[in-house]
Copies of this chain bind each other. A is one copy, B any other.
Amino acid sequence: MTFPFARRIRHAPASFLSELFRVSSDPAIISFAGGLPSSALIDTDGLSAAAREVFATDPRTALQYSTTDGYRPLREYIAARYRTRLGVPATADEIQITNGSQQCLDLFAKIFLDPGDRVGMERPGYLGAIEAFSLYEPEFTAVPFDREGPDPVAFGEMMREKPVKFFYGIPNSQNPSGCTYSQERRKEIAEMLSGTSTVFYEDDAFGELFFDHKPRLPVKRFLPDSTVIAGSFSKITAPGMRIGWLYAPQEILSAFNTAKQAADLHSNFLCQQILHRYLTSCDLDTHIQKVVSVYGRQCRLMCDLFDDLMPSLSHTNPEGGMFLTATLPPGLQAMDVFSEGIRQKVAVLPGMPFFVDGGGTDTIRLNFSNADEGKITEGMHRLAGVIAALSRK
């Protein structure tokens, strides 16, 4: 039987992420292709204790329907952390709880995009965002991205050319590159958007994961009225509970809330309560420091092994986050590295799905958060074998 699907889904590309998860699940493969935080660093004892307390206190409320905006004490916790950590005057009324920050992408696109509307992206840009936005049939425009952030000249041209509904960026430890916008670049972008109706969508999944443990000022500080920030507990607590949030001006949040209610009424209320209980009884900063120290070591190890074993590749040098991008030497193709990698039991992610306008065929993305140092060492040796084998051809 053939069903009369909507245009948006008939044109949807087969998902690369699904393929990814499938590949990563073969236990013989050392995978740098996924985007998982370290399972070993999840505070299972702390979360278990928090769950016990929620069940001991008022489980009937935690298990019942709740309001769409989310558990208010959790929203207050998030707002307070913005105020103290980043100096932005957030209030709980500006926070909407979502199913991870992925849901922010979907609902934000849903309230802003008519077919053909223009969305600005980084080039390369985050695959999960491209997949979410694509279903609303926008026209993408990609701004070249260097190690300081989006190219300001190209950004200015994009802004002059045709109205842009919103620009989507990851200023902190960008996915896939691992690069972080300089403060100067943040200001330049804010200035270019100031006074326009274009919203800056600041995806801040990795802002807590700087190896020097120092926060960077968000673009929101320089463009307070038309920036939204999407955040997530997936990288600093645990992804399996699917709790993220959007921090946005009231007018946007009101439309976003309408879309959230139509989408699923509200996010898992039991887990919102468990998470809040956990955050207010544990020392989150100490936990994050521990996680970040490990990620920093793993990142340095991966970079060192690139330099030692594969000097023909260049790579970014992340200041934080979970990913880096490597550029292959002339003549090598990312898809060949992927395929030969699967044969040699090491998975990397080809760069192409991060490019909305083609390209990236000579880049690969690697994740350094999920594999420990032993696996990184072994996996990088395998990858060096892959590069050597392909270079000989």
Interface residues of A (CB under 8 A from B): 1-9, 12, 15, 17-18, 21, 34-37, 39-40, 42, 44, 47-48, 51-52, 55-56, 59-68, 98-100, 102-103, 105-106, 110-114, 117, 128, 131-132, 134-136, 163, 165, 197, 199, 225-226, 234, 238-242, 249, 251-252, 255, 257-259, 261-271
Query: Which residues from chain B contact A262 at a C-beta distance below 8 Å?
Result: 102, 105-106, 128, 131-132, 134-135
* Residues B99 and A3 in contact, CB atoms below 8 Å apart: no
CB-defined contacts of A59 to chain B, threshold 8 Å: 42, 44, 47-48
A270 to B252 CA separation, bound complex (whole angstroms): 30
Residues of B with C-beta under 8 A to A271: 241, 268, 270-271
A6-B117 in contact (CB<8A): yes
Tell me which of B106, B238, B242, B255 contacts A9 (CB under 8 A): B255
Residue contacts A-B, CB under 8 angstroms, 18 given: A2-B197, A3-B255, A5-B255, A6-B111, A6-B136, A8-B114, A17-B265, A18-B257, A18-B261, A39-B63, A42-B59, A51-B52, A63-B241, A103-B263, A106-B263, A134-B262, A135-B259, A240-B270
On chain B, the residues within 8 Å of A238 by CB distance are 63-64, 270
Choose from B35, B55, B131, B239 the contact partner of A48 (Cβ within 8 Å).
B55
Contact B259 A9 (CB under 8 A): yes
B268 touches A242 (CB 8 A): yes
**Chain B residues positioned under 8 Å from A266 (CB to CB):** 242
Q: Are B110 and A135 in contact (CB under 8 A)?
A: yes
Asked whether A268 lies within 8 Å of B241 as measured between CB atoms, the reply is: yes
CB of A64 within 8 A of CB of B51, answer: no
Q: Which chain B residues border A239 with CB–CB below 8 Å?
A: 63-65
Given the contacts A111-B9, A240-B269, A241-B270, A1 and B226 also touching, CB distance less than 8 Å: yes
Question: How far, in angstroms, from A35 to B114 measured CA to CA in the complex?
Answer: 33
Would you list the 9 A-B pairs with minimal beta carbon distance, nearest first?
A63-B238, A99-B264, A48-B55, A240-B269, A44-B59, A63-B240, A103-B264, A268-B268, A39-B60
